[in-house]
Structure 1
């Protein structure tokens, strides 16, 4: 107790900013009594104040009892030291305090569990504390942007930047990131410019602080301009960035990589390769998110391929592919498979040459989705859509025969289904497209699917639309169920409402809610700008051509072809004779022997006599009977006798 009293007295006399003295006092107390939890607690807090987060974690690991006593400090130390996953576990076990919820949300965000982060922030926002609303808006905007990047945009609270977001530069920047993640690059560019203007207008920030805030915004601008295809503007803007002034190494790394991508000066692939690998790698506490790391790894492989480092790319991507289960829909693994195929092709000039090098790989890795799509793309580029279709159909049959749940998830993956439907549409196989979409919709409507494998909204909408085109009652009922589930998820989805109305109007009009019909646009409003009389006067083409129309069209085309002047064929000079006259009409029968030409007329008595015999209906000359051969014991009489050696013929 004396130790605790002396420590408390020392802490009472020490200023809050003098954390080194607090740490020394705590260490002195621990030397006297290693079992003093209060001293260990004070030491951990002092280390956190001094931003020595790894040392603080070590204190908690050396004293397990302190982890339960100071759970909040332990979770915060784990989060700041870069171990966000474990911080989520510690903070998630006790969410009683508001501070613990904040740590949990931040750790979930850093560990890329954006859905959990969004849920926690939504809970915190229900009871807003003074001076917290501004921070919650910023953090929630960042979570929404990351949800879009990770393919979970349906969980985002905001789908579009509001006027409130464009009032402060932090929220404007997050709104820009959200717009870019959704593919709305024009809106993203506008929000970035707005964020810059708002930051420059702040009077409470110094010029150095403004510069530190504006640099990440400029880096994002370079990326947006590159994606918009405005390379010249991106290159010019990139040259204004002082890379050494960017404090966050993760942002500095992205800035230098984007500078290489946007610069026209780096045409030498070997120089680009050296500059790419010369960029500083971020520390453990400032790592890139997964979607950023995947793109950076792809850039690294692309630069290596341009520098003809085929063996290195083959080895690196091969290890990544072999370590993952197959088949898989992981973008990281499948992208690595595409780059692995490119490395094996060794910068082949033509698609056929690349196919020759890549096809043997499919025998070794028949379940490699990335490799399969690469070969399909090469087939399409060579205008061999049938081979691409057969390849994907065979792959689907193998997955269906396996019966594995993971294999079936890949079999009915929306992207692969869309690829097959596109191939069917190109070949005019519309019934096959409908069947494929119906099978995929039926599979994803099963209730046993996990939450991570939720059905694609675009896939279900396409399947429901295809089923509506059928006159089969079962298909129409299935379409109604599909659009009903989509409507249950989002009451404002116009496609779901229209599909639901169309399905129920054909199968069971009495059960169709009137509010759904009223929510659809009125027909009068849709056709108010259409002049039916003008369309009729202009002539409305027949939708279903009759046989008479087809015959008349064919006759018209033939008549036009016969009237069209025949373009003279251009002859190379090497094939022209010396006395060639271009104004003289060429003999079309010049390749036939003279006696076979239609205008040939033989001269002289013998020629005329011979011509009479060749003429159809002319007199036929009697042929002399051949002499009868008389066989003798030695052979045929009259046969030539073989002369001996050396004789003359």
Structure 2
């Protein structure tokens, strides 16, 4: 035993660090002579790690229980690299000793999408700075921050915004770009991607092939950004000049080929696009997509099937996927599948025709959030906001009656609350909006560590501040107080707290709290009071000054004269001559009309409404009889052939 260990140690001393095949041969030869030689087994495991044969490392360690006790680090790392990161996390957590195991824990947690655990692991590693590790930790921490943004946990990121030092190296510049894209800052993300490319091309210690391998994933991300920005021509041009087949990571290559379909104007045939989509290579288990990527790719597959009129298949597969999760849920993957399921049942119809097809589904799945939102959207598109509001209010009431913790979390979900607030705003039901915001804020305020709900609680506090009700002001103060306890650097929370308590409870305001707000002099430092006065701000004069004297004459705006069509111009029109404002009235109704002659004047008097009435003397008929008498004058003879 001692002799074999000595000979192996002598052999290892003679071999170079890169000669792992020779080390493996020597270790195997020693194991043949003595199967219980742990040093030989350990040397074999390390050699296999160096040769990237991770499955073999896991097998040899699991087949040798005593070796596992002295090679926990090698075992955890091999599990991570062989596509079993969850098991690697368990081993690393149980034997978290030394910086090496902390690195394995951070990377394995990253792959299992436990980004909160990963960011905590990197914080521990950053606490003790090691010169050779500082660069790697900085890059990996940037990748974790970007993933936190994608997964909706951006409040846990160590860096909310990239700094100048992040744009000095292409790896950190690429992470900064991914973080910007995840926050929806696409234009900034594109700038950072170009910066990362330039930095990579400027490296002198990489070969052209190595530079190409690093730039290809950056280009794939750039195509996505251009597509999202609507610059399809640029995205298509970039697709045609990028050799996707040279991308080594199959997960990245798969995304690249799918994005090339979206960016291409030639693939207008849905059946051809469907064929190209399914022809993309599937990545192995050691190179899987993250969940947010898998969700989008699954949605793309369903959309391709819908465009190819495979509605029955989509309805069946989405229903199976929806049933895999308990309802109700705010999981975006489940709710998006519910939307596509509704589209399949409606056979791509819209409006009232779609409502007719999918309303029966809501009776079968009353707690399906995705289906509920789809129906509400159709109601809004048909201008039936009241029906959409009633549907969501009924859903909320049903969840409140349930009373379970998961149902109440969904009932007060910020996205659903914001939807109801938008519907209330459309119907000008502002009091209902304030009540709903206060209810949601009160619910989340009593939850522990709800920093992800900060925006909603801030909006609720602002809405309550606009009320003169004392209870609302106290509720706003409590909301901002809880936000300030979670993060005492939150300026919005401090300002809201001061505004609320200055009215309802001034005694609760401490000088330190007030002093933490920016000084008025600093806020108004760039304001030119004289320029504001010169621009027309009214100044305060003595009481004896009249209002007319204090008024400043308003500048006349250059109003463009309205052009009048020739067909509407009066006859004998002269340019520059003022038109008669009464030209559209009949002549007898114009104020300046004066009739000529006795007949005209007499006629005018009879037409004048509201004027004095001149009674005409009754003309006596011949014979002195009145017009109403029975006897009388002579009647005029009727002419021949005349008619009565």
Structure 1 residue 185: Cα displacement: 1.2
Deviation at 1:301, TM superposition (A): 0.8
Q: What is the rounded CA distance, in whole Å, between the counterparts of 1:347 and 1:336 in structure 2?
A: 15
- Equivalent of 2:478 in 453, 478, 481: 481
Give the Cα separation in 1 of the matches to 2:470 and 2:536.
36
Contact 1:444 1:455 in 2 (8 A): no
Q: CA deviation at 1:532?
A: 7.1
Q: CA deviation at 1:155?
A: 1.3
Q: In the alignment, is residue 306 of structure 1 matched against residue 303 of structure 2?
A: no
Aligned residue runs from structure 1 range 360-509, under 5 A: 360-447=360-447, 456-509=453-506
- Note if contact 1:445-1:455 (Cα within 8 Å) is conserved in structure 2: no
The equivalent of 1:620 in structure 2 is none
Q: How far apart, in 2, do the equivalents of 1:383 and 1:21 lie?
A: 76
Instruction: Give yes or no for the alignment of 1:288 onto 2:289.
Output: yes
Q: Is the 8 A contact 1:498 1:520 kept in 2?
A: no
Report the Cα offset of residue 384 of structure 1: 0.4
Offset at residue 100 of structure 1 (A): 1.2
Distance 2:359 2:53 in 1: 54
Cα distance in 1 for partners of 2:464, 2:528 equals 30
Q: Residue 470 of structure 1: CA displacement?
A: 2.6
**1:328 match:** 329
Q: Which secondary structure does the structure 1 equivalent of 2:131 belong to?
A: coil
Kindly state the Cα deviation for residue 493 of structure 1 after the two structures are TM-superposed: 2.4
Pair 1:396–1:282, CA change in 2 (3 A):
same
Cα displacement (A) at 1:310: 0.7
Residue aligning to 2:247:
246
CA distance in 1 between partners of 2:518 and 2:131 (Å): 43
Shift in alpha-carbon separation, 1:84–1:236, aligned structure 2, 3 A: same
Q: Deviations over 1:63-91 (max 9, x none)?
A: 23322211110111011111111111111
Corresponding residue number in structure 2 for 1:16: 17
What is the Cα deviation at residue 526 of structure 1?
8.9
Q: Secondary structure at the match of 1:456?
A: helix
SS in 2 for 1:367: coil
Structure 2 residue 11 is the aligned partner of structure 1 residue 7: no
Which structure 2 residues correspond to residues 236-275 of structure 1 after superposition, within 5 A? 236-275=237-276
Q: Which moved more, 1:81-90 or 1:28-37?
A: 28-37
Structure 2: how far apart are the matches of 1:501 and 1:41? 65
Give the distance between the partners of 2:478 and 2:533, measured in 1 at CA: 36
Contact 1:41 1:66 in 2 (8 A): yes
- Kindly report which structure 2 residues correspond to 1:561-576, keeping only aligned pairs within 5 A, or say none: none
| Number of the residue aligned with 2:64 | 63
Indicate conservation of the 8 Å contact 2:441/2:460, yes or no.
yes
Matched ranges for 1:203-214 at <5 A? 203-214=204-215
Q: Distance in 1 between matches of 2:519 and 2:312?
A: 60
Following the alignment from structure 1 to structure 2, what is the Cα–Cα distance between the partners of residues 206 and 10?
34
Is residue 82–residue 285 contact of structure 1 (8 Å, CA) maintained in 2? yes
Tell me the equivalent position of 2:184: 183
1:150 aligns with 2:147: no
Q: Cα offset for 1:11?
A: 2.9
Stretches of structure 1 that go unaligned for 5 or more consecutive residues are 538-566, 568-649
The superposition leaves residues 316-373 of structure 1 with CA deviations (integer Å, 9 ceiling, x where unpaired) of 111110111111111111111111111111111x311111111111111111011001
Question: How big is each residue's C-alpha offset from its partner over 1:232-255, in whole Å with a ceiling of 9 and x where there is no partner?
Answer: 111111111101111111111111
TM-score by length of 1: 0.79
In structure 2, relative to structure 1, the CA distance for the partners of 1:171 and 1:107 (3 Å cut) is same
- CA drift of 1:206 comes to 1.4
Deviation at 1:15, TM superposition (A): 3.1
Distance 2:475 2:179 in 1: 35
Relative to 1, partners in 2 of residues 1:404 and 1:528: Cα closer, same or farther, differing over 3 Å? farther
TM-superposed deviation, 1:477: 1.7
Q: How much has 1:183 moved relative to structure 2? A: 1.2
Shifted more, 14-23 versus 146-155: the winner is: 14-23
Q: The residue matched to 1:131 in structure 2 has which SS?
A: helix
- Deviation of 1:489 (Å): 2.7
Query: Counterparts of 2:255 and 2:142 in 1: how far apart (Å)?
Result: 21
Offset of residue 511 of structure 1:
2.8
Q: Is the partner of 1:164 in helix, strand or coil?
A: helix
2:579 corresponds in structure 1 to none
Deviations 1:154-183 (A, max 9, x none): 111212222211111111111111111111
Q: Is the 8 A contact 2:442 2:479 kept in 1?
A: no
Q: Partner residue of 1:578?
A: none
Match for residue 351 of structure 1? Answer: 351
Alignment pair present for 1:119 and 2:127? no
1:340 maps to which residue?
341
SS at match of 2:132: coil
- 1:27: how far off? 2.7
Task: Tell me how far apart the structure 2 counterparts of residues 535 and 389 of structure 1 sit (CA, whole Å).
Answer: 46
8 Å CA contact 1:444–1:454 kept in 2: the answer is no
- How far apart are residue 535 of structure 1 and its match? 6.5
Work out the number of aligned pairs and report it: 534
Task: For residue 378 of structure 1, report the CA deviation from its aligned partner.
Answer: 0.5
182 and 434 in structure 1: CA distance in 2 versus 1, 3 angstrom threshold: same
Between 1:18-27 and 1:235-244, the stretch displaced more is: 18-27
Of the structure 1 ranges 507-516 and 270-279, higher mean CA displacement relative to structure 2 is found in 507-516
